[in-house]
């Protein structure tokens, strides 16, 4: 179904703003596809046509990009994408069980949407939040240290239309369309809301501050001043001066 003249005018104005951010207009394609999702709830055929016409590309070129990335949906997406991380660490910490129980509860499998159009369930790859495994993402906001019970309770709230707050991020998770507009580059003013980095992510930084460690070796403290530091090349215990281990040895004794 073609866009109305009014919709086309709105999309064209937004697209012009996106395109103005790049030296090469074709670079605007990725955010423009998010813009289409923010309007249609997925990358629709008319959205592909709009991107192609605006950027002077073939529709096949736009489709090739839209089908490459999993964040672009080729079918109407649910109001909330619930992504359960089932990469190695999250999987063994319970991610597989969370996905299985949500799939059973919702009656949908991977990349499928509930009949009420509320939830699209996905298996997702590592979200670089392994220190909070197992992690669930809702419209790409973090829900840390999940259990099958906590995941189910959150999803039921969404189905009832109640707001849910991620562990880190804004005060409430936005809808798929709202989040898509942010991904298109239109700021929603929520960057300062909620918790930013969680305690597990900050632990390394805290330790470094306690010990006086810095990335460039500056601020090095001596044992006498109560701090610890790695030995520098040439100093006592430096690994540079340690004999290489024979790969055939058992690693327990001296190299032969
Ligand atoms: S394995 Fe799940 S966040 Fe890294």
Q: Report whether residue 126 contacts ligand 1, using a CB cutoff of 6 Å.
A: yes
What average pLDDT does the segment 118-125 reach? 97
Q: Is the CB of 87 under 6 A from ligand 1?
A: yes
Measure 200 CA to ligand 1 centroid, in angstroms: 14
Question: Is the pLDDT confidence value at 1 over 50?
Answer: yes
What local confidence, expressed as pLDDT, does residue 236 receive?
A: 62
Residue pLDDT, tens place only, 181-213? 999 999 999 988 888 888 888 888 899 999 998
Task: Give the domain ranges of the chain.
Answer: 5-66, 80-174
What ranges in the chain are assigned the alpha helix state H?
5-19, 29-40, 45-55, 59-66, 88-90, 96-106, 148-159, 176-183, 199-211
| Mutation to probe ligand 1, out of 127, 131, 137 (largest number of atoms < 8 A from CB) | 127
CATH fold, domain 5-66, is: Arc Repressor Mutant, subunit A (1.10.10)
Residue 89 pLDDT grade (very low, low, confident, very high; cuts 50, 70, 90) = very high
Average pLDDT over residues 132-149: 97
Report residue 193 as tokens: 């809301």
What is the third-level CATH fold of 80-174?
Glutaredoxin (3.40.30)
Cβ of residue 200 lying under 6 Å from some atom of ligand 1: no
pTM of structure: 0.81
- Token look-up 């249609």 returns 40
């Amino acid at each position: 179904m073609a866009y109305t003249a009014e919709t086309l005018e709105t999309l064209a104005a937004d697209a012009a703003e996106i395109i103005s951010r790049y030296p090469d207009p074709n670079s605007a394609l990725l955010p423009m596809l998010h813009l289409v999702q923010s309007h249609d709830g997925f990358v629709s055929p008319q959205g592909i046509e709009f991107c192609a016409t605006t950027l002077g590309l073939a529709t096949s070129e736009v489709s090739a990009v839209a089908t490459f990335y999993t964040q672009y949906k080729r079918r109407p997406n649910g109001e909330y994408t619930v992504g359960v991380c089932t990469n190695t660490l999250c999987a063994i910490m319970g991610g597989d069980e969370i996905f299985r129980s949500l799939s059973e509860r919702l009656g949908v499998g991977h990349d499928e949407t509930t009949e009420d159009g509320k939830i699209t369930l996905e298996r997702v790859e590592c979200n670089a939040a392994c220190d909070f495994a197992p992690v669930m993402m809702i419209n790409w906001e973090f829900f840390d240290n999940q259990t099958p019970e906590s995941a189910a309770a959150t999803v039921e709230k969404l189905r009832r239309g109640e707001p849910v707050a991620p562990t880190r991020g804004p005060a409430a998770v936005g809808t798929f369309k709202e989040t898509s507009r942010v991904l298109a580059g239109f700021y929603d003013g929520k960057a300062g809301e909620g918790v930013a980095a969680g305690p597990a992510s900050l632990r390394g930084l805290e330790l470094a501050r306690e010990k006086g460690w810095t990335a460039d070796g500056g601020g090095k403290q001596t044992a006498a001043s109560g701090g610890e530091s790695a030995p520098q090349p040439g100093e006592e215990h430096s690994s540079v001066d340690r004999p290489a281990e024979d790969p055939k040895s058992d690693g327990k004794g001296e190299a032969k």
